[in-house]
Structure 1
């Protein structure tokens, strides 16, 4: 096993950072690593906003549900799906690109491109001894986030990435068993097998929480998922995405 794989397998979310900003060299390395990620048809349909302004970070923390580590970190990145520059390219090249930009396909391309870039950035940061935490909470109010960051039409903030020097290291959280996520040749939909895999995983997660919290918590993953998925959350998203000029066709 090489160092890269070891770094990937040791991933854990860090939610407490030292009061030490990243150096410009580190920021540039992380962004360069993000840009090295694969991109569909070379379209590079994303933009990364680095947020340094303390007031903006504080506001983003509030919008994300008062998550303190959105404000207190070494650097905060916001990854955006971005087709704005491509619309401008269409104008400059006198080519009608609007139907393509409004397609579900290009919406997916932009989201996937941004996600691939972000994961490259995360691995780069962790390989440098830094910790990271993805922040989906900025999607609580994308209208306000877009206004705060001055995002034009055809640019959607997807998630944040808090990066910094870890104040403490948490345990690696167990993932689903490989058999549950890796199927060969066809999807394995046998419910008996699936239920057995998830039952074993529930035992693993329950033990993990019990040990981590000294017995104060021992909930099962399937219970977590059922509870989380039973409620409506961010149901404004379709309207917002279409308003931004994405996913109309």
Structure 2
């Protein structure tokens, strides 16, 4: 049986147990303060095998309400989200996003969109030119708005026992994705998200992250970190974690070298500036 919510042991564990799962080290002293919200966030794992069971009524709307409760730069609310339930459309998106079968498998796919078209409409309605829409900072604000909204929604879905995985593959062929979703000029799919109940026959574990002291700087950026020993230890942890999931035992450093050592590894995303300009974004105003 693979339908319905899954009660994850990690999701019910203490903050300190989740710390050990995430970092592979003893938790700090004094112990971390307990928080049901933080526990849910720390128990996150990407899901790539889904049950076909539909989402309960109202969960999508609750997640979007959570998304709209995220912070927004200057309250521009420069994002939209496209909910895709249709199986044939999800299958087409799966192919455009790199042949990722779980997109077609999950009952819901969400495209999180940086959306300046709505603000442009405000300018037209009031007969005002809005040169600020052509500034790089405005585009970045829209991307951040979309990302913050998506993460709030992800946390909401997981609180209902659902699983999610982000899909950066929507940026492989952004114009084709825009055509499939009917996006107007001035919009761009920042990321996708597949949502559904995790398939119990394909359990996943918490993925190790870099040690916290590597990313947490106090007062000023410490250029002395990360130390080579820190990265080597993390590489080994991630290699072992992947092997335990029957995945290629590749370290973080190996993955990053492969990802960034050849632009071909970006699968089309290297031409993103060209695509964005074709989709109505100037990005070159002072």
> TM range, normalised to the smaller chain?
over 0.9
Please report how far the alpha carbon of residue 243 of structure 1 lies from its aligned counterpart in structure 2 after TM superposition.
2.1
Contact conserved, 2:204 with 2:245, CA < 8 A, in 1?
A: no
When residues 217 and 68 of structure 1 are mapped into structure 2, their CA distance, relative to the original with a 3 A threshold, is closer
Paired with 2:198 and 2:173, the residues of 1 have a C-alpha distance of 28
TM superposition outliers: structure 1 runs of 4+ over 4 Å: none
Paired with 1:58 and 1:113, the residues of 2 have a C-alpha distance of 27
Of residues 271, 275, 280 in structure 2, which corresponds to 1:240? 275
Q: Secondary structure at the match of 2:82?
A: strand
- Is residue 195 of structure 2 the alignment partner of residue 163 of structure 1? yes
> Paired residue for 1:16?
49
**What is the 5 A alignment of 1:31-42?**
31-42=64-75
Please report how far the alpha carbon of residue 248 of structure 1 lies from its aligned counterpart in structure 2 after TM superposition.
2.8
**Structure 1: gaps (5+ residues):** none
* TM superposition score normalised by structure 2: 0.83
Of residues 176, 180, 184 in structure 1, which corresponds to 2:218? 184
> Paired residue for 2:23?
none
**Structure 2: gaps (5+ residues):** 1-33
Equivalenced residue count is 245
1:121-170 deviation line (CA, Å, top 9, x unaligned): 00000000000000111111111110111101000011111010110330
Please report how far the alpha carbon of residue 187 of structure 1 lies from its aligned counterpart in structure 2 after TM superposition.
1.1
- Is residue 209 of structure 2 the alignment partner of residue 175 of structure 1? yes
Please report how far the alpha carbon of residue 211 of structure 1 lies from its aligned counterpart in structure 2 after TM superposition.
2.6
> Paired residue for 2:254?
223
Paired with 1:179 and 1:40, the residues of 2 have a C-alpha distance of 29
